[in-house]
Amino acid sequence: MKRQGGLDWFRIPAALLVIAIHTGPLASLTETGDFFLTRVLGRVAVPFFLMVTGYFLQDRWMEGWRGIRGSWNKTALLYAGATVLYLPLMLYKGDFARENVLWEELRDVVFNGTFYHLWYFPALLLGLPLTMALVRALGERRALWAAGVLYLAGVLGDSWYGLTVQVPALKGVYDQLFFLFDYTRNGLFLVPLFLLLGSTLAGRKRRMSPGRAAVGLALAFVLMTLEAFWLRSMDWLRHDSMYLTLPLVMVCLFALLSGWKVEGGKGLAQLALALYVIHPWSIVLIRGGAKALRLSWLLVDCSPVFYLAVCLLSAVLSVLWLVIWRRYGPRRTVLPRRAWVEVDCGALRHNLRALNGAMEEGQRMMAVVKAEGYGHGAVPLARLLEGEGVDAFATATLDEAVELRRAGIRGTILILGYVPPEAVSVALRRKLTLTVVDEAHAAALEATGKPVHVHWKVDTGMHRLGVDWERLTKTVRACPHLVTDGVYTHLCVSDQLDEESRAFTVLQLERFRQALETLEQAGIRPKEVHAQASYGLLNYTGVRCTLARVGIALYGVLSGPGTVCGAVELEPALALKARVTSVRTVKAGEGAGYGLAFRPGRESRVAAVSIGYADGLPRSLSGRGHALVRGKKVPVAGRVCMDQLLLDVTELPEVKPGDVVTFLGRDRGEVLSAETVAEEAGTITNELLSRLGARLERVYKAR
């Protein structure tokens, strides 16, 4: 996720607002002004920090604990550190001399915070796993609704508590809750909504325009001010952290800030965090110092001076702390990658646009993202495409389709392969579309009696899957329970340009047309009709379909040479890389690798590289393949092993461990295209890409 400058910068005013809440800069001047500043304006600070956290967690909720572990551990560590920092003040305040001290401490540690301002940390520690569980159980959209309901429940225990007390049963419930914690502004009620709003806004392609966000923010803020003052006049406020209109304010504020193009930086985030953690110490020190110097009348009693003094001292302490931390703190280790796939999102967008340009009027893309999106990673890919307006996807298997739904993909998801009738309920629950693969399958699906959505596959000559084209109408009519959303066929020689193949494809399309015509005569008009995959789209026009099922071309690759007649400019989106781990000399007359298959006959240098056939690099590249190192093409030396291979780098004496090796993609001027490598390996690009293994890390480059 790219850093957003606007979000980084706003952390500083947000931290200063938190300090304002705890010092009351206007308290000695105007009560109304103080209320406005600390109880209304100040209330955007914490939700803002939560939304930023959600923003950076964007796609990670679905990964479960693995996705949030980093944030959780960091928060826990900060909480522990800050608690130690405030132990002296806790002792001084007499926290440990309370009645029921164990219970009180437990409440504090888990909910209220060990020191008053520290409640944010336990709230996040609880809110992170809760939010993750919600997203996993309900999907992103419904999780957002659930979080909204929790927030409403929180509001009823916070600023709208005056309403709650009028319903005795409800008040009873809240009394029980307040036995557990002091406020509802905690990890249960406050945190999930703002985390999810942050990640939802991060995932949205179309951003609110700055002008609209600013107007929205102004309006929402006026509403929130009115709400707060009205609640105050009604004497309904039990606390004042959660207003009904606060989420609206936050969405507009966040949209405005994330659209603000400025240079940000990690330093700002660290400074804001330090200000937040340290300022209560500054408060104590200023009070104590003022008393000792007999300056309380100025430094404490005059609230704006007090506020400024606390801010100043906090800033000095924070900067000091950051300098010390950077100098002596632990160094963060970033592990160098072993073997990885780099996906160029810009190339994917380009290909999408180019292919959409090749569609006929009224035809849309059905993006084929089976087999982990041909190695590009199905979920990130589908998310990117959905953001670009793609509303139909195809997978090979039920599991692949379920994975997309669980990741929040909303469009049509068609499963191209056979799905057993036992899985109909899963398909219905996940709103998946099945392919009817033959008459027996149709009968079995019909026998479930469930209104399952299907696309009928028609066998027009490939003889793999599909109902025979002449029997389509009869079969469809025999299945009144099935919901016919679409009809399609698959072309089996559309990538071959010779006359015979062209004639066969035309025949397939003609049979398909006839099947559709008969269907229409029977009064059945499927919404979606499709026949072309990548080559059908690139090589044939006038097919008159509503969809084209595009796979390989979307990834900017052709299966092999001589497969396309048209001229659509595509850009390959995937690069495959690994690293040199060791370099050594092989003397003349010696061999290297399994079977000593590399026999150079002269003194040579070989480099071991951290990728092998278990990562999906074909073993058939042994002794035949190539890779790019330092912008030069070098041959694979001997046999590809399971997890590594050797390169002959005799011509490149400067090669050393750590060097990046490119197996697919570009290195400086040199390119190894998927077409070339597939040919060297004796296969087609589709196989090469789709077999790239789960062990490869996938890195997405925004460009």
Ligand X SMILES: *Cc1c(COP(=O)(O)O)cnc(C)c1O
- Residues near ligand X (CB under 6 A) are 368, 370, 416, 490, 533-534, 549-553, 686
Residues 6+ apart with CB under 8 A from 452: 424, 427, 428, 434, 445, 481, 482, 483
Nearer to ligand X, 370 or 626 (CB): 370
Which of 549/579 has CB closer to ligand X?
549
Q: Which is nearer to ligand X, 475 or 559 (CB)?
A: 559
Q: To the nearest whole angstrom, how small is the minimum distance from the Cβ of residue 5 to ligand X?
A: 40
Radius of gyration of the chain from its Cα atoms, rounded to whole angstroms: 32
Separation between Cα atoms, residue 560 and residue 604, nearest integer Å: 34
Bridge pairing between strands 364-368 and 467-468: unpaired
Please identify which of the residues 205, 291, 527, 594 carries the catalytic annotation: 594
Kindly tell me which of 235 and 569 has the beta carbon lying closer to ligand X: 569
What is the closest distance, in whole angstroms, from the C-beta atom of residue 144 to ligand X in the complex? 33
Smallest gap from residue 525 Cβ to ligand X (A)? 22
The secondary structure of 132-161 as a DSSP string is HHHHHHH-HHHHHHHHHHHHHHHHHTTTTH
183 as an active site residue: the answer is no
- What's the CA dihedral at 702, 62, 370, 671 to 10 degrees? 30
Contact 158, 239 (CB under 8 A): yes
CB of 368 to ligand X, least distance (A): 4
- Nearest approach in angstroms of CB 254 to ligand X is 39
Other CB atoms within a 10 A radius of the CB of residue 153 amount to 18
Closest to ligand X by CB, 238 vs 455, is: 455
Tell me if 571 sits within 8 A of 344, measured CB to CB.
yes
* Dist. CA 690–CA 557, nearest whole Å: 12
The token pair at 101 is 């001290």
Contact of 374 with 356, CB cutoff 8 Å? no
Q: Which of 445, 410, 455, 396 is nearest to 425 (CA)?
A: 445
In angstroms, rounded to a whole number, what is the distance separating the alpha carbons of residues 277 and 15? 10
Q: Token match 């990885």: residue?
A: 340
- Residues 6 or more apart whose Cβ sits within 8 Å of residue 702: 2, 345, 346
Q: Is 594 a catalytic residue?
A: yes
CB of 323 to ligand X, least distance (A): 55
| Least gap, CB of 577 to ligand X (angstroms) | 23
Q: Which of the residues 370, 540, 555, 613 is marked catalytic? A: 370
User: Per this entry, what is the length of the chain?
Assistant: 703
130 vs 381 by CB, closer to ligand X: 381
How far is residue 249's CA from residue 218's CA, in Å, rounded to a whole number? 8
Supply 559's token pair: 């299966």
Tell me the catalytic residues: 370, 594
